[in-house]
Every structure is written in structure tokens, then in C-alpha cells.
Amino acid sequence: MAGFSFDLSGRIALVTGASSGFGARFARQLAASGAKVALGARRVGLLDDLADEIAGSGGEALAVEMDVSSEASVIAAYDRIEEEFGTPDSIIANAGMNVEGAATELALEEFERLMGVNLTGVFLTVREGARRLMAAGSRDRGQGRIVIVSSITANAVEPGLAAYSATKAAVQQMGKVLARDWVRQGINVNSICPGYARTEINSDWFDTEAGQKHMAGFPRRRLMAEDSLDAMLLYLASDASAAITGSSFTVDDGQSL
């Protein structure tokens, strides 16, 4: 395809949950592809270290304290990004968490905390991003890209993950509806549904005997490689995906088969 490229030069990206796991890797890949990257999370010390690493590799990154479950924090973070870089046009709503334990033992406070990060946090992140994109003229430029990180648990039954799976199914469907709402505003909204890779959120689990049995139940009996999402992320964040909106992409090394 003529002109096909994942080059993100001139783009401004925001990655939430950038202090570890997929978020930190996404930030590195976006920066390596030419974007200025805003790193959003609550653990600012880790963000500062990542920003220094990206700068040391020739990229541009900005550490921004951001609690996605707080509207005031989200707005303040966008204000800071606009002051330093400009309006983000590749927004990666990645921040997420899980609470271990059976649903019968899950305290309401923990359930609400999970919803606050995984569902409300995604809504606040993408809503504020869309508002600012529209104000900056996204309808004419057509370069708005929003990528929501869902999970294979949005569509597959995983025992013990009722609340977590509900949030991931919700943000996947929310992304489709927002794609329709904003389709004439120059903003594409898509979701990635990753399978299991070793990250901070699950590394302890996969080191247990039960976790090893879980992994052995995957068709390829393994976790995904850490680079498995790179190409899909860059595609959806770039001009290459101009014709793709309202879609959800499963990238799981066949784990959900």
C-alpha cells in the first residue's frame, strides 16, 4: 500500500497506566515511532524514570500525575499536556486494575474501586480527550485516534473474574458506541483485547501452581510475548488506520480458542 506507515512523527500521544506493564511498553513504542508521549499514572516516580529512559533514547516524554478515576485529575493532566506538548491526538486508555478473590468475598468498596479505574477511568479519559480534539479541529484534520485496552475476558468466561470481566466488556461496547457518536468528528475509537502476558497485574498469579495450570490450559501452553501488541497499537494510533473505527481486535496468541 502506497504511503503505508506507522510513523507517528508530529503526533502527541497520551498513555494512561504508563507506570508499568503494557502501558510502559506502549509509551516506549510510541516514542520510538516519533510521537511525543505523555505518561499518565499515579506513581509519578516511575513515570519520571520512564520519561528519562525515553529521553535517553532520543524520544520526548512528559510524566503527568493522573488518577483516571478522578475527573479533576484527568482534566488537570490534559491541561498540563496541552501546555507542554499540545492536544493529544493518539489517546491510549490503558489504565486498569484487578481485585483478587471470589465474587462472594468481594467487598463493595473494592468493587467500586475496580469500576472507578477500569470503567469510569476509561470514560473520563476518552471523553476529555474527545472534547479537546473537537475543540482543536479534529473534524477537519481527521487524525483523532482513541485506543481502549479491553481484555479477552470481555468475551471469554474466566472463573473468578466476574467484576473485572464486566468492566472490560463494558469499555469494549462503550468504545463502539463512542465511535458511532464521534464518527463525523474526525475521531476513530477502537479497542484491543489482549490475552495474558506477564505483567505487574498478574505475575504473582502465574508463578503459583494454579497459575501454571491456567497457562497449561492455553492452546499453545504459554503467555504472550511482551511485544505481541506492538504492531496493533501502532496501527490503531497512526494514520494507517484512518478507515478503522468501532472495531475490537483480539490479540492473544490463540489463548481464547
pLDDT tens-digit readout, 187-245: 999 999 999 998 777 777 788 888 889 888 899 999 999 899 999 999 999 999 999 99
CA–CA gap between residue 62 and residue 147 (Å, rounded): 19
Sign of the alpha-carbon torsion through 239, 241, 245, 247: negative
**Mean of the per-residue pLDDT values for the chain?**
94
User: Average of pLDDT values for 120-128?
Assistant: 98
Per-residue pLDDT of 72-116, as tens digits, reads 999 999 999 999 999 999 999 999 999 877 899 999 999 999 999
List domains and CATH numbers for the chain: 12-194+229-250 (3.40.50.720), 201-228 (no CATH)
The residue from 78, 164, 196, 235 that is catalytic is 164
164 is catalytic: yes
R_g over Cα of the chain: 18
